[in-house]
Structure 1
């Protein structure tokens, strides 16, 4: 019999998403999916999923994006110490949509920067690393606008904030990567925190990461998101801000941990 896996953590990877399905106990399953929507069409769809991707976008003027991005980013950065650079500033909806429109990448990036500059105060362009997330941000935006019943089941999280919560609300002192390469001590620290939170960590290996076409940090981050999903289900999750804000289209704006 297939075990019930009510909690899911979802982390973006190159060309898709890594999903960590967890029963809250001894069973953790990992898979790679191309898109998020079909996950919720399956018979074994998760009850709660936490995803490492922004949900809810500021509309721009007159709701300008201030320095530091949305309220959630501004609230969680100070918690993370040396890890706060992992929290990107999310630009206005117009910038995201310009970045995923037709045309070649350079033109789309310029259009996204122009839209972001027009909707931010002080004016701020789009970081290239954030620009490459726009297709995934737009994917979630479309899903939650068309399926509003999922808004309570698919929540935004951030792995480093999840690990902060697992670490007795203290910032981690070791990075996952150094000079864009995996940093074994930092990855081991995060595996230990997952284990202490009840997550079986036997599948969180380089071998499984290669088999799934992802990085080991993607697997570890997805598992951290699954811990957040369980905390949501148990009513123990923290929200930044609390209560969440909402964008102009009604999508919630909060990072959950």
Structure 2
């Protein structure tokens, strides 16, 4: 989802195949809001990294949307059993890797390979449900947008209505979506775009505020 600020306020959809394609956009957005973990801990505590633990406390019934990320060494494993073995050795208390998290490891590795502390001036980690919490006055959304891994229209429409208060016209949801992009994916991308604009304006905050940095010097924080 691209929004180019006051000079070009109309949001538009661009489907890119990888993170390098995002960084190569021309003209480049001032802020990239990325719904993927950035910054990988050497060891994982109860509930994952600090960012995951800090945002869950705000999300109530929606906190299950925040998965626990294991340590860097586990994320670098390409075999599920090996990832679980490494995760058990690098977590306290010992914990294996969920299949949901493991399926995201290739994308996390791709981002980690390209991220640098210098890119942090433009690239920020976000989470859609924390973004909705922020736009909803510090209250989690009352309805889920997915039930049993399927999009749930009552929850999606609830989020669409909230986003219409933040610059997304009702007609935006009626346009054709790229193949493979669900209605829930679109509202997630839209709220991330709003949070990117908040970051650009200096209105967003990091969770946690006193974030730590990983072995590469990358901050571990989710913004909203």
Regarding TM over 0.5, the answer is yes
User: How far off is 1:208 after superposition?
Assistant: 2.4
User: Whole-Å Cα distance in 2 between the matches of residues 27 and 45 of structure 1?
Assistant: 16
Instruction: Kindly indicate whether the alpha-carbon contact (under 8 Å) linking 1:28 and 1:200 is maintained by their aligned counterparts in 2.
Output: no
Corresponding position of 1:198: 167
Corresponding position of 1:117: 88
User: How far off is 1:201 after superposition?
Assistant: 4.5
CA RMSD of aligned residues (A): 1.4
Matched, 1:48 2:27: no
Corresponding position of 2:104: 133
Instruction: Kindly indicate whether the alpha-carbon contact (under 8 Å) linking 1:21 and 1:30 is maintained by their aligned counterparts in 2.
Output: yes
Superposed, which structure 2 residues align to 1:51-70 within 5 Å? 51-60=34-43, 65-70=44-49
Unaligned runs of 5+ in 1: 1-19, 100-107
Unaligned runs of 5+ in 2: none
Tell me the SS of whatever aligns to 1:245: strand
User: Whole-Å Cα distance in 1 between the matches of residues 22 and 186 of structure 2?
Assistant: 17
**Number of equivalenced pairs:** 222
Corresponding position of 1:212: 179
Instruction: Kindly indicate whether the alpha-carbon contact (under 8 Å) linking 2:50 and 2:211 is maintained by their aligned counterparts in 1.
Output: no
Superposed, which structure 2 residues align to 1:73-152 within 5 Å? 73-99=52-78, 108-145=79-116, 148-152=117-121
The TM-score normalised by the length of structure 1 is 0.83
Q: 21, 24, 29: which is aligned to 2:2?
A: 21
User: Whole-Å Cα distance in 2 between the matches of residues 200 and 140 of structure 1?
Assistant: 31
Tell me the SS of whatever aligns to 2:121: coil
Corresponding position of 2:13: 30
Deviates more, 1:86-95 or 1:213-222: 213-222
The TM-score normalised by the length of structure 2 is 0.94
Whose strand proportion is higher, 1 or 2? Answer: 1
Cα distance change, pair 48–83 in 1 and its aligned pair in 2 (3 A): same
Following superposition, which runs of at least 4 residues in structure 1 exceed 6 angstroms of deviation?
Answer: none
